[in-house]
A and B are shown apart, each in its own frame.
Chain A
Amino acid sequence: MTVKFIHTSDWQIGKVFRFVDDATMGLLQEARLRVISRLGELAGEYGASHVLVAGDVYDMEALSPRSLNQPLERMRNFPGVRWHLLPGNHDPHRPNGLWDQLLRKELPENVSALVAPGPKVLEDFVILPAPLFHRRTLDDLTAYMDDVDLPEGVIRVGLAHGTVKGFGSDDKDVPNFIAPDRPQLAGLAYLALGDWHGQRQINDRCWYSGTPEIDAFDVIDGGQALLVEIEGPNAVPAVTSIPSGQYSWIRRSEQLGSRADIDYLVEKLRNTADELDRVLVHLGIEGALSLEDRQYFQEQIVDGVSAAFCFMRVDDRRLFAQPTAEDLDRIDRGGFVRTAAEQLKRLADEGEGHGGIAAAALERLFVEHMKLQADKR
């Protein structure tokens, strides 16, 4: 008999997206809830009767009742699926904390909160959860799994939240550290991990599912869940990545030097994906443009193509306006306006202190002047 379940984590319900506008934030938050339904549907599709959530169901501890209940209500809609939730570092199980709050109000029947270490015996396998009780723990909470006695032949599945790898010389000093060889040490058929938002295989029996809906630009291989199929206690589990997210988060860096570059970039951006409104773009621009082209960039990219995306963030801090003689002539050939323009250009060229401001002011002068010209015509 094959044990089949879906491994997911880091739903981060209630997450606030600071850099996007209110409307986009609404969309992104809604997407995080919708993906729960999606996971329920996927469980049905793949015939998995359990969903293991490896921590960080919630993004923070003190949430409004609505935010707390929203995911529960989604899960309740899938009575055929049993959801197992693990407290993570964002929503640790503290005395009288949110998990106690949820347990006090009673969870839906098909939802269980694994708030204490110890075997959770199911019909065909046993979950060994390692819930977090603090944001940071220096002990490896999965260590207890080694000593759990269970009858021979029972499939043991570990569920934990933390990091298997540190960045210092000794990994064990990392908070919420989990030994990557825990499956071997504790005889686990599979160790379902959460915390990393990108999907990652650590070894045959140890996986990070990643977040089912991407929530940042730097997440690699996010927006997926894992379908885990286990033939027996000693069998290597078959792990399949299944896409679940709706939104793509793209980071682009481009060099611009001319009008042609801008046109090319517009083209490239429009061909990024089929559904551009499901894409969030972080666009880093480098280069130097004449005032006229800078204006063109603004029209085409910042005001133009960005409207096609769900959200586009343009980082043009490294895009410099380089006023040409023509630019200046277009402003004026002489007179004090030209004098002012040249003074700004000189300040901008010196680049110290107010250089940036001066460059921006020059651009502004150009734009305002063009507007006046247009009005005159």
Chain B
Amino acid sequence: MKIRSLAVNQFRKFTSPTRLDGVEDGLNVVVGPNEMGKSTLLDALRAVLFEKYSSRAQPIMALQNDRNQAAPVVELTIELDDGLYRITKRFIRKPYARLACPDGRNLEGDIAEDTLRTLLDFHEPGKTGAKPETLGMWNVLWVQQGQSFGAPDLPDSARSSLHSALESEVGAVLGGRRGRALPKTIENQLGELVTSTNRPRGAYKKLIDRIDELHEELATLQVRRRDLTQTLEDLEEAQENLRRLSTGDQDREDLKELNETRQRHSQLAELEARIEAALSEQELRKRKLEQAEEAAETRKRLKADVETEKAALGTAGLRLTEAGEQEKEARSKVDALRGDVRQLEAAVTKADEAVSRHRRVLGAAERQARLRDLEERYEKAEAAENLQREAQQATAAILVTDEAIEGIRQAAQGLEIIRGRLNAAATLVSFDMTEDGISGIDVDGEPLTGDRRSVRSVEPVTITVPDRGRITVEPAVKDRDKLLRRRRDAETALREALEDVGAESVIDAEDQNTKRQRLLRDAELARQGAELHAPATVDYEAGAQRLGDYIKGLRQVLKREMNDLDLQDLPAGRDAETALIAAQGEADKTRSARDTARAALSGPEGTLSELQTEIATLQGRYDESEDRLKRLQVEVAQEEERRSDDELQSDIEAAQTALAEQETMVARLEGERGDETVPQLEARISRLEKALEERRNKQFSLKESIAGFRSRIEAAEGAGLDEAIEQQARELEFAEQDKLRQAREVEILSQ
């Protein structure tokens, strides 16, 4: 709390409004001379805060001015955490208290004072005004004039407040020490029981688990106990049942009934047997009557059969005759048609023969044409072959073969080369003289002429100048002799080569060679011509001779054919072909006529065949019918001889009488039957027997069950189930109590 301003009026010595303002944070000092009213201001402060406005206590009355007795008014502004509060109080006369709060509320009277007390935490003053006790903590802080902090007289409440305040302010030190140890202890204890997430742990958890186990075990035991109880009950019931069954009352009753029923059953069975016998006798007699009636009936049927058969035989005879006539008619018709067909077939054969002859004539004509063609070709081929032979013979006369001419050419070339080289090495002697000058001069015996004014030589040259003598020029040529020898050799080689082929010169040789080449070509051309005219075919090989042979063969064939055909001349191919076509047309026409006639024949033939089959069938039937009739007539005669019709009738009447008698007897016996039937009695016997048997079985099975129950009970007895259950329940109860204690412990520690 911070004081911000204080104002007084009519308060003791302050008879005019006086205000203390500008109180700031921190230390504020009010300074003034003695008796100025500093202490009075403190009294005003105390009064406005702690005294009741309505109080008439002596200290309040003392606040008045001694002289004017006016009502004292004090107004205090204080600042608390939430803002400024203004407290105004007027005492004694028309007293009031007002409290203006920072939130805008304006409180009056007791409410204002109550609020103030709550805000500042002091007690309501008693009738004698505010006392140190009611001021609480404020009294400690309030230092009266003439007192000091030395030994404050602390009331209990103040001591407590001080303690709390100090504790809260320095709690980190004071409370921390205890606070650390105590909660830790408790947390440790709690931690042994539950986890941080408050789930049971350790022994507590084990206990809970154990409780679950115990519950389960107990439940198991209780189930077993119930089983035991049930087994005991079952056993008791089984024993009771057995006891009831063992008395045999029911058995005796059932046996008695069984015997009676059996007796009744045997009586009834005997009656039934008699009825059965009578019924079978009745049946027998009925059958006899039936037999007699049957015999009469059979006789009647037999006679009827004879009549029927007779009628049938008559009908069959008529039908047979009729069919015979029809067949005859059909046969004559078929015979006429067959004659037609035969004629047509002969015509067809003739036409076919004509066609065949024309075809052969055509073949011969074609062969003749071919023969002519082949003959032409034979002549050409023979001419070509002759040409070829001539050319080949001419070729053989010329020796200059390709090989020989090549040798000659090489020899000539070799001579040319050596001559060139000699010429290059030769010495040239030139005569630069007039025509006249040179006349008479010869070189190696040959005179010089205008054209021949120089001599080239490697050998010594002798120039004879008339009148003057001779000049010999002897060229100095390296290897002259060798070169000369080689020229000689070359010349020899050429000469020999020419001689070998009989050629006079190289040119001659060349000519001869050319001629030979031409001849070879001619021969080849002739050969090709021959081959063209007489090539190889499937009938003969290539060559004129072969073709000639073939032609000869053909001629013979043709001749034979013409002989066969009895012809002197052959018609032209085209004529033969036309004739053949005409013949073929004729043949086709004839054939088609024949086919038509044949087709016309098939219908009547079928009819005839059918009629013949029918006749055969009818004949068979007729024969059979005849046989049958004979047999039947024999049979009727025999039967009648054996037993006449009248006798049969009297048999029937006797049987009817016997049957009527037996029926009367059966009716009488059936009348003797009672209400019960044999099956009913048998069912009752079976039921009673079964019941007896079942009881015996039941007894047996009950004994077995009892033994089973006993052994189960004995097994359970050994376990002492009740005891075990009690023990288990006790343990469970303990555990549950423990658990409750632990749970409470957890709750306590959690608090």
- List A residues at the B interface (Cβ < 8 Å): 14-19, 25, 59-68, 94-98, 101, 332-338, 344, 347, 354, 357-358, 360-361, 364-365, 368-369, 371-372
Contacts and interface: CB of A to CB of B under 8 A. Distances in A.
B236 A336 contact: no
Contact of B723 (A17, A60, A97, A335): A60
A335 B179 contact: yes
Given A101-B714, A369-B178, 20 more contacts: A14-B720, A16-B726, A18-B729, A18-B734, A59-B726, A63-B723, A64-B719, A65-B720, A68-B720, A95-B232, A95-B236, A96-B236, A101-B717, A332-B175, A333-B163, A334-B171, A335-B167, A336-B175, A369-B182, A372-B178
Given A65-B717, A364-B748, A335 B235 contact: no
A61 B725 CA distance: 11
Given A95-B236, A360-B748, A372 B185 contact: yes
Query: Most chain-A Cβ atoms within 10 A of its Cβ — which of B185, B723, B734, B747?
Result: B723
23 contacts: A14-B726, A16-B723, A59-B726, A60-B726, A62-B716, A62-B720, A64-B718, A66-B720, A94-B232, A95-B236, A96-B236, A97-B232, A332-B175, A333-B163, A334-B163, A334-B167, A335-B174, A335-B175, A335-B178, A336-B179, A358-B751, A365-B182, A369-B178
Contacts of A358: 751
Nearest to A60: B722
B300 interface: no
B727 interface: yes
B168 interface: yes
A200 to B, nearest CB: 27
Query: Most chain-B Cβ atoms within 10 A of its Cβ — which of A15, A65, A96, A333?
Result: A96
B171 A368 contact: no
Contact of B730 (A18, A67, A369): A18
Nearest to B721: A62
| A-B CB proximity, top 10 nearest | A335-B175, A64-B720, A334-B167, A361-B751, A60-B722, A16-B726, A62-B722, A62-B721, A18-B730, A95-B236
A64 B595 CA distance: 127
A62 B716 CA distance: 8
Contacts of B722: 14, 60-63
A360 to B, nearest CB: 5
Contacts of A68: 720
B143 interface: no
Contacts of A64: 718-720, 723-724
B713 A361 contact: no
Interface string B218-248: 0000000100100010011001000000000
Contacts of B349: none
A18 B228 CA distance: 24
Query: Most chain-B Cβ atoms within 10 A of its Cβ — which of A97, A334, A347?
Result: A334
B578 interface: no
Contacts of B733: 18-19
Nearest to B221: A62
Given A16-B727, A17-B730, A336 B171 contact: yes
A358 B239 CA distance: 63
A64 B714 CA distance: 11
Contacts of A65: 717-718, 720
B181 interface: yes
B338 to A, nearest CB: 122
Contacts of A334: 163-164, 166-168, 171, 174-175
Contacts of B232: 94-97
B235 A95 contact: yes
Contacts of B713: 96
B186 interface: yes
Nearest to B159: A333
Given A16-B730, A334-B164, A344 B751 contact: yes
A334 B720 CA distance: 62
Contacts, number: 120
B182 A357 contact: no
B749 interface: yes
Contacts of A364: 186, 748-749
A332 B178 contact: yes
A364 B189 CA distance: 11
A334 B235 CA distance: 76
Contacts of B168: 334
A198 to B, nearest CB: 23
B264 interface: no
B421 interface: no
A19 B738 CA distance: 12
B215 interface: no
Nearest to A361: B751
B744 interface: yes
B710 interface: yes
B296 to A, nearest CB: 87
A65 B715 CA distance: 11
Nearest to B165: A334
A358 B721 CA distance: 43
Contacts of A63: 720, 722-723
Contacts of B164: 334
A62 B747 contact: no
A335 B714 CA distance: 71
B239 A95 contact: yes
Contacts of B719: 62, 64
Contacts of A95: 232, 235-236, 239
A361 B710 CA distance: 58
Given A62-B225, A64-B719, A337 B182 contact: yes
B723 A62 contact: yes
Contacts of B727: 16
Contacts of B171: 334-336
Contact of B748 (A15, A66, A333, A357): A357
A65 B720 CA distance: 7
B724 to A, nearest CB: 8
Contacts of A369: 178, 182
B751 A368 contact: no
A59 B722 CA distance: 9
B154 to A, nearest CB: 14
Contacts of A18: 729-730, 733-734
Contacts of A337: 175, 178-179, 182
A333 B744 contact: no
B175 A372 contact: no
A96 B710 CA distance: 8
A333 B159 CA distance: 11
Nearest to A16: B726
A29 to B, nearest CB: 11
Nearest to B706: A96
Contacts of B174: 334-335
B461 to A, nearest CB: 166
Contacts of B225: 62
Nearest to A347: B751
A369 B178 CA distance: 9
A368 B720 contact: no
Contacts of B181: 372
B735 to A, nearest CB: 12
Contacts of A333: 163, 167
Contacts of B185: 368, 371-372
Query: Most chain-B Cβ atoms within 10 A of its Cβ — which of A16, A335, A344?
Result: A335
Contacts of A336: 171, 175, 179
Contacts of B734: 18
Contacts of A371: 185
B228 A62 contact: yes
Query: Most chain-A Cβ atoms within 10 A of its Cβ — which of B163, B729, B748?
Result: B748
Nearest to B224: A62
A357 B175 contact: no
Interface string B193-226: 0000000000000000000000000000000010
B105 to A, nearest CB: 31
Interface in B726-742: 726-727, 729-730, 733-734
A14 B727 CA distance: 10
